Amino acid sequence: MKYTRGTCAARAAIAAMALLASAAIASGPKPGTPGNPQWQSECGSCHVAYPPRMLPANSWRAIMDRLDRHFGVDASIDAETAASIRSFLDAHAGGDRVVSPGSPLPRITETPRFIRKHARIGATTWRSDKVGSAANCGACHVGADRGSFSDHDVGIPR
C-alpha cells in the first residue's frame, strides 16, 4: 500500500483521538463504584462513600470488623446490611496495593498513592474551615460523591 500525505495525516488524527479518548476514560469514574445501595447510603451518610478500589480487601475487612469503633464513632449496622456491604467491598477492592497480612492499612489517607497525589497540599489547607481534614475528599474533588477523583476536577478551597 502506498502512503500519501492524506493517509498519514488521517492515521495521525485517529491515533490522537484514540489517545484522548483513553485518557478521558482513565480519568473518569471507575467501574464498580456506584453499585451497592447499602454501601452508598450507610457509608455515604457521614462521609463520601469511598470507592472500594481505594483500599485492598483486607483493609476493608478490618474496617467492617470494627464498625463499633469506626474512627472514633459507633457506626454499627445490622448484620444483613453489613454482609451486603462487605461482599461489595471484597468484590471491588483495590487489588494493586500490597499490604502485609495482619496489618491492613485502614486509612485511605495513609496509602502510598494518597500521600503521593497530595504531597503538595500543606497542613494549613487540611486544617482550614473549608476542608477540615484529609478525609474530606468532597472539599476539593467535585466528583468525589460519584467516585471520580480526576486531577482535572480538583478545586482546592482558599
Residues 7 and 25 in one domain: yes
All three cell numbers of 76, joined, read: 454499627
Q: Are residues 62 and 5 in the same domain?
A: no
Q: Mean of the pLDDT values across residues 75-95?
A: 93
| Rounded distance between C-alpha atoms, residue 17 and residue 103, angstroms | 44
Same domain, 99 and 124: yes
Q: Is the pLDDT of residue 9 over 50?
A: no
Determine the pLDDT at residue 105. 59
Mean pLDDT on 117-133: 92
| In contact, 17 and 50? CB cutoff 8 Å | no
Residue 83 scores a pLDDT above 90 = yes
- Same domain membership, residue 102 and residue 43: yes
Q: What total number of domains does the chain contain?
A: 2
Is the pLDDT score of 100 beyond 90? no
Mean pLDDT score of the chain: 78
Query: Which pTM was predicted?
Result: 0.69
Domain annotation covers residue 145: yes
Give the domain range for residue 110. Answer: 37-153
pLDDT at residue 65, as a whole number:
92
